[in-house]
């Protein structure tokens, strides 16, 4: 049982059961084979290694006490794994998966074996509890559990081989790059091995170290308590002044927009067309709404200043202005789409704006104490749901259908 074998793991050097090492080693070998057998494609090169690591941890942790609700995390993780196979996702989404998957996997494993963990605002930092923390220092736990002297000696030899291979591969790789003659000499040594490539050994070693280290970190954090979010008080006058100035800027912007879109009552001598209006400043407006979101989240969840009714109404005004900006961005985007059609990026922006709109509406409800429980969980569900929708809808086949509808 893992809980028994790794009790007080941070204080004592416990040995590892052979079955745990075998699972990790097999996973690392399979990852190496993916590259050795030239299995091309996003699924094989990107998603399959993640699947192998996920599977190896679930096998190793099968005897530990688990929070079974964490298995719900397998739903978005699986949908991400198979998204490219089903719809063929965009290159930008492929890159985003490399950021999203480690976070989701970290959340799952910490929720799975640690009853103290729950979805809160700092979930994005959970990955750092598993990687790269202790990437090499965790190797001190690489001691195989043995029952007799002969087996102990074999275990020590295997440990020596492991460390020897680790450093020799790194040193040999550097020497081969530094000296072509030495590189040719090494290649001649391994000439009898078909398609020998030192990189495969490096992949095997790196995969094993990474997988083993994260496994140890999962166990180290099984009793760790989450850091409590401490709310702070700030000077009321400073906060009111700060929020008043920001809201004043948005008042000026709205007056400007109304003038431009109606009779130009401000008499600004700048000519524009609707196509130029749709193109200009769109992403800047998007970034402004993100700044507003950060400000609101800070005040609602990091300070006690929302207890003051006047500050609360200033924050509510900021929410209203943010919603107006979102509709303004929608207007600009659909003017642009009507003229130039949909693209993957434009579709992603439409979804992102809709997600922002829902979140700002929830924050407006919070102003009137209508949205107070399980906030982080609801925000997480909204964000991950829109991310999955983005994977399955923001692709060429749907874009072609939408453009066909728009062009009719």
pLDDT one-digit tens code per residue, 330-348:
887 887 787 778 888 888 8
Residues 249 and 346 grouped into a single domain: yes
227 located within any domain: no
| Domain shared by 389 and 241, yes or no | yes
pLDDT band at 149 (very low <50, low <70, confident <90, very high): low
pLDDT value for 1: 46
Q: Which residues contact 305 (CB under 8 A, 6 or more apart)?
A: 233, 234, 236, 239, 299, 311
Cβ-Cβ contacts under 8 Å for 168 (sequence gap 6 or more): none
Average pLDDT estimate for 376-390: 92
- Structural domain harbouring 182: 2-220
pTM of the entire predicted model: 0.78
Q: What is the mean pLDDT of the chain?
A: 80
Q: Check the CA dihedral 394-396-398-400 and report its sign.
A: positive
Q: Give yes or no: residues 282 and 307 share one domain.
A: yes
* Statement to judge: residues 241 and 193 lie in one domain: no
Q: How many domains does the chain have?
A: 2
Query: Domain end: 220, 248, 269, which one?
Result: 220
145 and 258 fall within a common domain: no
Q: What is the pLDDT of residue 11?
A: 41
Residues 43 and 82: their CA atoms lie apart, in Å, by 8
Torsion angle, alpha carbons of 63, 65, 68, 73, to 10? -80
138/260 same-domain check = no
Q: Is residue 212 part of a domain?
A: yes
Mean of pLDDT values over 15-39: 80
**Sign of the CA dihedral 49, 55, 59, 64?**
positive
Handedness of CA 393, 398, 399, 402 (dihedral sign): negative
Q: Provide the pLDDT confidence category of residue 354 given band limits of 50, 70 and 90.
A: very high
The structure tokens listed for 393 are 């809808």
Do 397 and 332 share a domain, yes or no? yes
């Amino acid at each position: 049982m893992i809980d028994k074998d790794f009790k007080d793991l941070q204080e004592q050097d416990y040995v590892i059961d052979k079955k745990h090492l075998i699972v990790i080693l097999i996973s690392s070998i399979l990852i190496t084979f993916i590259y050795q057998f030239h299995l091309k494609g996003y699924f094989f090169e990107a998603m399959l290694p993640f699947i192998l690591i996920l599977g190896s941890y679930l096998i190793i942790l099968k005897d530990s006490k688990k929070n079974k609700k964490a298995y719900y995390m397998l739903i978005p993780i699986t949908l991400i794994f198979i998204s490219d196979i089903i719809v063929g996702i965009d290159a930008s989404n492929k890159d985003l998966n490399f950021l999203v998957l480690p976070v989701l996997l970290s959340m799952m494993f910490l929720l799975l074996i640690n009853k103290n963990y729950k979805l809160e605002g700092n979930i994005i930092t959970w990955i750092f509890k598993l990687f790269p923390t202790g990437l090499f220092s965790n190797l001190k736990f690489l001691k195989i559990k043995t029952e007799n002297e002969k087996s102990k000696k074999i275990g020590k030899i295997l440990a020596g081989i492991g460390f020897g291979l680790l450093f020799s591969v790194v040193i040999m790789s550097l020497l081969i790059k530094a000296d072509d003659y030495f590189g040719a000499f090494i290649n001649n040594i391994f000439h009898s091995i078909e398609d020998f490539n030192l990189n495969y050994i490096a992949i095997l070693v790196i995969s094993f170290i990474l997988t083993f280290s994260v496994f140890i970190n999962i166990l180290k954090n099984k009793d760790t308590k989450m850091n409590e979010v401490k709310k702070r008080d700030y000077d009321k006058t400073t906060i009111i002044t700060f929020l008043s100035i920001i809201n004043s800027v948005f008042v000026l912007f709205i007056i400007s927009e109304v003038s431009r879109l109606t009779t130009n009552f401000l008499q600004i001598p700048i000519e524009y067309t609707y196509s130029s209006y749709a193109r200009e400043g769109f992403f800047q407006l998007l970034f402004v709404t993100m700044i507003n979101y950060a400000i609101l989240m800070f005040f609602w969840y990091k300070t006690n200043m929302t207890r003051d009714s006047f500050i609360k109404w200033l924050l509510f005004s900021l929410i209203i202005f943010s919603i107006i900006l979102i509709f303004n961005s929608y207007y600009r985007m659909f003017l642009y789409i009507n003229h130039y059609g949909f693209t993957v990026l434009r579709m992603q922006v439409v979804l992102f704006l809709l997600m922002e709109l829902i979140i700002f509406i929830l924050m407006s409800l919070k102003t009137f104490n209508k949205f107070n429980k399980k906030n982080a969980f609801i925000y997480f569900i909204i964000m991950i749901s829109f991310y999955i929708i983005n994977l399955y809808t923001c692709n060429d086949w749907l874009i072609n259908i939408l453009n066909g509808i728009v062009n009719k």
